Amino acid sequence: MKTIRVMTLGAALLCLGAFLAIAGDTKELVEKTCSSCHDMGRVRAAYGVKDQTAWSATVARMLAKGNAPAVTHEEHGLIVDWLSAQEK
């Protein structure tokens, strides 16, 4: 029984670690991608104002601009999710 509990705790910690790693990487990804034309102030101004749909449209609009950095489909999704989770 004790082994099972230790294993469950271990698995929970692993998940948390993976979650935090992704959250940290996504923040860097967003800062790198979204501050290449304007600073993050412009992005931050819309935290908590735009919902997921609005962010999705904004990110697509930004990344369709001429000299926008290329991101993968997965990265696009991560960026939208991360932005939608930010609060004012």
Q: Based on the shown chain and the rule CB under 6 A, indicate whether residue 34 belongs to the binding site for ligand HEC.
A: yes
What's the rounded Cα separation, in Å, for the pair 13 and 71? 30
Tell whether residue 27 is a contact of ligand HEC (CB under 6 A): no
How far is the C-alpha of 35 from the C-alpha of 16, rounded, in Å? 28
Residue 33 touches ligand HEC, criterion: CB under 6 A: yes
Which residues, other chains included, contact 79 with Cβ-Cβ below 8 Å and sequence gap of 6+?
Answer: 26, 29, 30, 33, 34, 59, 71
Q: 4 vs 64, which CB is nearer to ligand HEC?
A: 64
Residue with smaller CB distance to ligand HEC, 17 or 27: 27
Q: Which residues bind ligand HEC (CB under 6 A)?
A: 33-34, 36-38, 42-43, 46, 58-59, 62-63, 65, 67-69, 79, 83
